[in-house]
Amino acid sequence: MLKKNYYCLVAGLPDLFFNESKQGFSSLDFRNELKYQLSKTDFNLIKNLYLPNDNKNLLNLLFNKNDAFNLIGNYKKEFLESHIIQPIEIPEYMIRFLKWVKKLEVRELNLQIDNKLQSLFYEHATTSKNNFLNEWFTFELNIKNILTAFNCKQFNYSPEKHLIQVGENNTVYSLLLNMNLKHELFEEELPFADQVFRVAELNTSPEVREKEIDKLLWAYLDEQTFFHYFTIEKIISYIIKLGIVERWMKLDEGTGKALLNKLIEELKLSYTFPEEFSTVK
């Protein structure tokens, strides 16, 4: 099946979000715009990227936390509230999670409950109909688990309680569970394994480590979309990078602006094909 190309959308991204008439940029605006720009199938794919926000909202409502409702999720507050009572039109992993929670004797948010939702979410997110999206969520989860494993080693925590398991034949999870923390063992399973472990081993502040991890995530997206010019994979990559930019705009304006400039430059180059593809032989 041929993939749909979004020539105008990709070529128009810088003007659409970074012109002088707009104050900044918004993942929420972009998602709403994509409803009209993407095919139904592709829009359903990119909804997976916003589900982590829905997960946080679900926990907030379910356990009566006072966190502000995150509008970047797929579902409105009233919709989620009604489906906590009668879960029907939400993703299957959320339904499974709510049924599991209702069987618990103690109804308060804890690590076990959060990890259960994360595990069900990643099981859902890594089995979509798009290989690029599946591989992205697998890469993201593996990095989270590696950083968690190093924290467990440092503070003498039990990895079984903190690592997120998805699937029974997860090599990365199995290695980390046994605290095999040598990057050589992960080379076949994990892109950028050497760099990921170097960052995990850094004796530095959480902010510096987070910046280094985001650089790796960015590099991974660049590598994986090198031969994707106008397909949904390019849009998926853009959404992820935009989320990274927005987060750093809130945490560190300088870092956020640097990433924003980088994203704009990449988009300018994205619709200029490499020379070997533009030359007719």
pLDDT given at position 272? 52
pLDDT given at position 280? 38
| pLDDT tens track for 147-180 | 999 999 999 999 999 999 998 778 999 999 999 9
pTM: 0.89
C-alpha–C-alpha distance, residues 94 and 97, integer Å? 5
According to DSSP, residue 109 is labeled -
Mean of the per-residue pLDDT values for the chain? 87
Burial code (b: 16+ CB inside 10 Å, e: under 16) for 224-253 equals bbeebbbbbbbbbbbbbbbbbbbbbbeeee
Domain boundaries, the chain: 39-125
Q: Which residue matches tokens 């009233």?
A: 78
For the chain (281 residues), the mean pLDDT of every run of 10, in chain order, is: 80 62 68 92 96 96 90 93 87 95 85 95 96 96 96 93 88 93 93 96 90 95 88 93 89 84 75 45 38
Q: What is the dihedral sign for C-alpha 104, 108, 109, 111?
A: negative
